[in-house]
Amino acid sequence: MIRILRQIFRTGIVTEPLPASAEDEIKLVGTKLEETIRKRFSRSLTIRQVDAGSCNGCELEIHAINNAYYNCERFGIHFTASPRFADMLLVTGPVTHNMEIALRRTYNATPPPKLVVAVGDCGCNGGIFGESYASLGGIDKVIPVNIVIPGCPPTPIALLNGILKAVS
């Protein structure tokens, strides 16, 4: 236990020692995000992430916005296990033929008003996988999309920015 505590104290809050530019960027986006979320979502924005066929690259970066550096919880963003509690669906990947029905169901299970954010080049337009027998292309081919976040995969900052854009 002593070791754990020591490690925690020694590590401190890593949000501090960021390189100046990145820190500014996170703060900038973060403050705006926090404000908007406070106003419009009474301080808490709940996101359900859905992988509709991605290569897992986008998921890794979505994970990253939860790490101590970006720490998206401090802006009031958190991820939920059920679409029934979600204000926003964060959807990655080209929609595959095999995931289409599951994606529609998840969308229908989310209570309105719901925001849909398509993540990654694949989420925008199918990316390198395009449209084929197995891939239907971008998320908007299947459910209505409010905002897209391009990038392959989009960086954590781009993700935070995109979420901000969606809630403003």
Task: Determine the size of the site formed for ligand SF4 (CB under 6 A).
Answer: 12
**Residue 55 interacting with another protein (CB under 8 A):** yes
Residues 48-67 that bind ligand SF4 (CB under 6 A): 54-55, 57-58
Q: Does 13 bind another protein (CB under 8 A)?
A: no
Applying CB under 8 A, the site for another protein has a residue count of: 51
Part of the chain binding another protein (CB under 8 A), chosen from 26-34, 37-45, 110-118, 121-129: 121-129
Rule CB under 6 A: is residue 120 a binding residue for ligand SF4?
yes
Instruction: Return the residue of 114, 116, 121, 159 that touches ligand SF4, per CB under 6 A.
Output: 121
**Dihedral through CA 70, CA 73, CA 76, CA 78, nearest 10?**
120
User: What, of ligand SF4, another protein, none, does residue 7 touch, CB below 5 to 8 Å by kind?
Assistant: another protein
Q: Kind of pairing, strands 45-51 and 77-79?
A: parallel
161 binds another protein (CB under 8 A): no
Kindly state the smallest distance separating residue 123's Cβ from another protein, in Å.
Answer: 13
Strands (E), 95-165: 115-119, 147-149
* CB count in 10 Å sphere of residue 84: 11
Tokens (6 digits) for 48: 């359900």
- Residues at the site binding ligand SF4, with contacts judged by CB under 6 A: 54-55, 57-58, 92-93, 120-122, 127, 152-153
